[in-house]
């Protein structure tokens, strides 16, 4: 168990080496499960949400804490990633930890073109059209999600367009 340390430290007491951010319906039972298994095999402490996490309007404090307690976040962008308010909220928190704590962020573009993420085209455009209708009074939040997608898609990562 990690002991608490001073918050002035640039790195929090890391509980995880890697936090995986992904849209479960798209990648849980294929790419993400294989990546998680490979990390575990190499003894890399990896946080992955489970199917049993309670879904609600807001990300749970436990999930936010897991992001904060990770050295690296791997964001697996997939076709339906932007349709999930949870994924977009996770992305915001990940980029906040990158800025505040120097957390390394590594994007993976799984069956999605990085420019679709950056410019919100294709399935990302469709997702934001729905978000704008559903969250009419939360336009600032939607703008933060768009800014987060642009920032994350401009990071060096992996384009796995043809990977199965």
Instruction: List, for residues 102-112, the tens digit of each pLDDT value.
Output: 999 999 999 99
In CATH, what number is assigned to the domain containing residue 116? 3.40.50.10140
Its domain, for residue 35, covers: 16-160
Asked whether residue 84 is domain-assigned, the answer is: yes
Asked whether residue 34 is domain-assigned, the answer is: yes
Mean pLDDT of 7-20: 68
Asked whether residue 73 is domain-assigned, the answer is: yes
7-15: list long-range contacts, CB under 8 Å, 24+ apart: 10/101, 10/102, 11/71, 11/101, 11/102, 12/68, 12/69, 12/101, 13/69, 14/69, 14/70, 14/71, 15/45, 15/47, 15/66, 15/69, 15/70
The structure's pTM equals: 0.84
Asked whether residue 145 is domain-assigned, the answer is: yes
Q: Which of 127, 34, 120 is nearest to 74 (CA)?
A: 34
- What's the domain count of the chain? 1
pLDDT of residue 115: 93
pLDDT of residue 3: 34
Asked whether residue 2 is domain-assigned, the answer is: no
Specify the DSSP element, H or E, that contains 158: strand 158-160
Q: Tell the residue number behind the tokens 């729905």, with chain if given.
A: 130
Asked whether residue 7 is domain-assigned, the answer is: no
Query: Does residue 77 contact residue 109 with C-beta atoms inside 8 Å?
Result: yes
Specify the DSSP element, H or E, that contains 77: strand 70-77
**Which residues are annotated as catalytic?**
90
Lowest mean pLDDT among 55-59, 87-91, 120-124, 137-141: 55-59
Instruction: List, for residues 28-86, the tens digit of each pLDDT value.
Output: 899 999 999 999 999 999 999 864 455 555 668 888 999 999 999 999 999 999 999 99
Asked whether residue 5 is domain-assigned, the answer is: no
Asked whether residue 8 is domain-assigned, the answer is: no
pLDDT of residue 94: 98
């Amino acid at each position: 168990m990690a002991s608490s340390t001073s918050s002035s430290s640039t790195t929090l007491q890391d509980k995880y080496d890697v936090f995986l951010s992904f849209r479960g319906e798209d990648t849980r039972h294929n790419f993400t499960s294989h990546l998680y298994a490979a990390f575990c095999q190499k003894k890399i402490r990896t946080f992955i949400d489970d199917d049993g996490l309670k879904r609600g309007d807001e990300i749970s404090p436990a999930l936010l804490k897991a992001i904060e307690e990770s050295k690296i976040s791997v964001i697996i962008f997939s076709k339906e990633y932007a349709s999930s308010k949870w994924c977009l909220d996770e992305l915001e928190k990940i980029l906040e930890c990158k800025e505040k704590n120097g957390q390394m962020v590594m994007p993976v573009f799984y069956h999605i073109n990085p420019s679709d993420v950056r410019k919100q085209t294709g399935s990302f455009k469709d997702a934001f059209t729905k978000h704008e209708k559903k969250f009419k009074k939360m336009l600032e939040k939607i703008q933060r999600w768009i800014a987060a997608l642009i920032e994350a898609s401009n990071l060096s990562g992996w384009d796995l367009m043809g990977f199965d």
